[in-house]
Structure 1
């Protein structure tokens, strides 16, 4: 061993120790490598920084932005809602559907981002069904890791191995090169988790989040039964009239909360301002404070159609229509005035649908109730208007916002455009019309053009820590090749398992990669092991693809410790897991992945 190789190995060992102890954080370790490694003279400072110009690094950043577009437009959340509705009370069905959905979504966006999205969804489902969250969080993390075996862009290690192939002059992997291995692995993992979930039990049940929600206020203010969706039929006397001219609150005891209009690309909720004129086909979302039998008379007189509702007091409109509880403070201009006199909706774009004086809700018609100091009002309207109230301390004090406010999507109406951008990117990557990076950048531009993301959210979505980690570890690959370290490692593998044939060599590469991944990021592991695997292939005179694929699959099989991947780390708290839980559940699954790899890789990618 020469002195240069000794220095590189010493620095690599120090980096691994810092990764294990977690100090400094991973990107800090990568920056130390970028600074220290050029001091040896083995690589230049320019070479240590070339990773920032690597197309795969830019591609990973672009995929983070695309994933953010899917989050902001609610594509991922709608999948979660569908999951809850479809699985019902069956834990087994929940696990199967959860793993399939997470693996599918994770195949086109960051697995870490997928887990971050689904943790609150799973917690809500667990609280609603009485299921222990520990029975669902482990399947969530496992499915997210397996999603890395689905497509080329599913996880950073795939792109690292793909980039190493291209640097060696080989053609990289295709978009679906991994799918043939990922689908069988997902099926086996689902079956395994249906059996292994019995070992994921703890005494404490799922926590119910604190704070009120829509259903709380629906009960407190007796709102149930007051909501109606009334559609304006052709020939209605309302057509062409403005809401100010109709004055339905004073004349009919009817408060219009929003107007639903059908557009070419879906529905649009229009704010019910006084100058807004009604058209045939408009659907009025109303709060009716009066005898319910009289609604039928209103429907007949105004030429309306009473449409069915799918959620209690418009909870199915929670993305567009918000609620808040506010109090009338001392000095407020509202004191002594009725809601009609104060023109509350005109000034705030919100409707008052409930008033409490002390602990008791006022049961009279609210329009002409004079407001007093300390009255509590329940307001409803667009979330933007609810948010504006938080800065209006002179007139109203916001007492509480519902839990639903934390789940409001910035651009829910942009979901079709986000899906179109994603589909176009996949088509371009699969067909090879343009390079993968170009396809991803086009999708990012489409996301921005159609309002799925903005510059602020795009920059915030990029996981800079992961990018710096990859860039900082890439110089090790160059240094190990230049000092002969890769050749030594490849020869060691050949000396250990070469006589037993290439299948055992694949198994050895998998075990070493997974072993490093016990304590080191799977991305860093792929950076270190990809050149070694290709060196082994070169020494054997074999195709590089089965060996490169083995590294990628082993890097995604990071099931065995909570520090193997950020995906595992995220679920430790919500699932209340211990270190041993990952060892107990993850080790058998890693052995299953090893068998899948050794059996299937040589069949699909011959030596």
Structure 2
């Protein structure tokens, strides 16, 4: 979640799409490979959520339908989760089950021994077979593009030559003073939109950026102030207070790269005719505390308003800037304001990296090192990485709660006592004996295939994590009864629990592309069944070679 929130997955997704170079067959390969590689380190849902808008956008640009490329994204992410121990919950569940039963658990990259061949099979399948089976469903879901959206705002609201960046020079009286001391708003009609610290010191409470400066905000030497005002006022301000003018980006680039990031966004809102805000006076550029946003520009009857102070009328449009969370919360204020477009779509398209982005990446690297070097157990390594991300503020605490898949948590919590009950009552042993007598006596490899089919059947209708919790004790007992190593059977459980391709409800990622691709239930069965058959053949042939059946 940290990588998704701080822009890494959006950046990676955009790079992957660029490599497709407007060639549909290459796009198919790229999105399958990209979703697979990303989901080895990022949650499957986070991967699909990030790739969904750029994949749809690329499909429309290439004059192909989204339904021809979205299912490979979902299937690729499901398969890619098998590249690492933390790629998908069933991996962790089967590894912990092995450890609890007295066997060696799986190492961090051990799953890649089967995950990489499976990902390769998935790519080749979609390139040469699957693309013929993918439906051509008509949809009308052209995604939000941040570049075109910002350009539209600039044209509609005439936001040109309105933003400047000023550096606080060594002789400026601004140094070590509060903004309230200078009355910039009343005396110069200039608003400080944002401050970038050239010498941040987190230990002293001096953060790298002040996104919404307040009157008591302090100004320090070499700070860079992003301000809004007319050219005459800015020139007067520079001369009087010894401020330097920095080369300014084009307005579109300034808004796109500096005023919008993973935490702060922009959107357009319209005033409802019955709004309580009608008749109220507001100043453009100021902070609207009621909603926690800045008012950057306004228009009325499709004409931009140039005056600084505006008395709100019904139907007025505003460009606002605030945290993505505050913008999202404004949707509930429909009696006063109507949020236009898709702020959540824009948020997913933000790709510029910040200091917190590197903290999130560092936390991931730390977790991998702890796991690879076997310094601490996997659960502790994950908690340490999560702690780093949370303490650093890379993810807001409120977003952390929202990112947790509570359905999976509840399902796992419910299935753990069921699994224990199966063991305590002897039902697990009875089921294990049944597997051994029906399949194991023929050959352990046949039992391996049977476990794949049984687990796959369960995972089509219940949560994959719950499936792994249910099957793990049964499979370990079956392997023990047959006097063979449980590792190949447990890897089979992890694989088959994570490859629920036959229904849209099998995994969250399958459901995520359902409406976007206009898919029907039968589409998943038609495309997923041949791929599952290939996986079954691969498991039966390759798993016993990588993880020998005999106990050593």
Q: TM-score range by the shorter chain?
A: 0.7 to 0.9
Separation in 2, partners of 1:553, 1:388: 37
SS at match of 1:449: helix
Answering whether residue 67 of structure 2 is matched by residue 134 of structure 1, we say: yes
Match of 2:410 in 1: 465
Answering whether residue 323 of structure 2 is matched by residue 383 of structure 1, we say: yes
Q: Is the 8 A contact 1:481 1:487 kept in 2?
A: no
Q: Is the 8 A contact 2:267 2:339 kept in 1?
A: no
2:85 to 129, 152, 173: 152
> What is the Cα deviation at residue 220 of structure 1?
1.4
The one-character-per-residue Cα deviations of 1:369-401 (angstroms, maximum 9, x if unpaired) are: 6647547252444338965995999xx943435
> What is the Cα deviation at residue 415 of structure 1?
3.0
Greater share of helix: 1
Q: Is the 8 A contact 1:491 1:536 kept in 2?
A: no
Separation in 2, partners of 1:386, 1:483: 54
> What is the Cα deviation at residue 79 of structure 1?
3.4
Q: Is the 8 A contact 1:513 1:554 kept in 2?
A: yes
1:197 to 106, 112, 131: 131
Distance 1:455 1:508, change over 3 A: same
Separation in 2, partners of 1:563, 1:221: 44
Match of 2:435 in 1: 489
Match of 1:510 in 2: 452
- Higher Cα Rg, which structure: 1
Q: Is the 8 A contact 2:502 2:528 kept in 1?
A: yes
SS at match of 1:574: coil
> What is the Cα deviation at residue 127 of structure 1?
5.5
Answering whether residue 190 of structure 2 is matched by residue 268 of structure 1, we say: no
Answering whether residue 157 of structure 2 is matched by residue 221 of structure 1, we say: yes
SS at match of 1:573: coil
Distance 1:237 1:569, change over 3 A: closer
The one-character-per-residue Cα deviations of 1:243-280 (angstroms, maximum 9, x if unpaired) are: 66777778877654323334479952443555656555
Match of 1:358 in 2: 301
> What is the Cα deviation at residue 466 of structure 1?
2.9
Answering whether residue 146 of structure 2 is matched by residue 207 of structure 1, we say: no
Match of 1:599 in 2: 541
Answering whether residue 366 of structure 2 is matched by residue 433 of structure 1, we say: no
Answering whether residue 525 of structure 2 is matched by residue 583 of structure 1, we say: yes
> What is the Cα deviation at residue 593 of structure 1?
1.6
Separation in 1, partners of 2:73, 2:332: 42
Q: Is the 8 A contact 1:355 1:375 kept in 2?
A: no
Separation in 1, partners of 2:15, 2:260: 16
Separation in 1, partners of 2:51, 2:538: 27
Match of 1:424 in 2: 366
Q: Is the 8 A contact 2:32 2:76 kept in 1?
A: yes
Q: Please, which moves more after superposition, 232-241 or 561-570?
A: 232-241
Match of 1:282 in 2: 223
SS at match of 1:484: helix
RMSD: 4.4
Answering whether residue 97 of structure 2 is matched by residue 161 of structure 1, we say: no
Distance 1:226 1:586, change over 3 A: same
Separation in 2, partners of 1:268, 1:540: 63
Q: Greater relative contact order (Cα 8 A, min sep 6): structure 1 or 2?
A: 1
Q: Which runs of 5+ in 2 are unaligned?
A: none
SS at match of 1:427: helix
Match of 1:106 in 2: 39
SS at match of 1:303: strand
Separation in 2, partners of 1:101, 1:578: 25
Q: Please, which moves more after superposition, 232-241 or 416-425?
A: 232-241
The one-character-per-residue Cα deviations of 1:567-587 (angstroms, maximum 9, x if unpaired) are: 323322222212222222212
TM-score normalised by structure 2 residue count: 0.78
Q: Which runs of 5+ in 1 are unaligned?
A: 1-66
Answering whether residue 266 of structure 2 is matched by residue 322 of structure 1, we say: yes
The one-character-per-residue Cα deviations of 1:74-97 (angstroms, maximum 9, x if unpaired) are: 443443344455546444444334
Distance 1:85 1:491, change over 3 A: same
The one-character-per-residue Cα deviations of 1:296-333 (angstroms, maximum 9, x if unpaired) are: 99989953231434944502332325344354989989
Separation in 2, partners of 1:562, 1:350: 39
SS at match of 1:173: coil
> What is the Cα deviation at residue 182 of structure 1?
0.7
Match of 2:165 in 1: 230
Distance 1:329 1:247, change over 3 A: farther
Distance 1:215 1:185, change over 3 A: same
> What is the Cα deviation at residue 289 of structure 1?
4.5
> What is the Cα deviation at residue 601 of structure 1?
1.8
2:343 to 404, 408, 416: 404
The one-character-per-residue Cα deviations of 1:378-434 (angstroms, maximum 9, x if unpaired) are: 2444338965995999xx943435523665599976333333333222222222212
Matched positions, count: 526
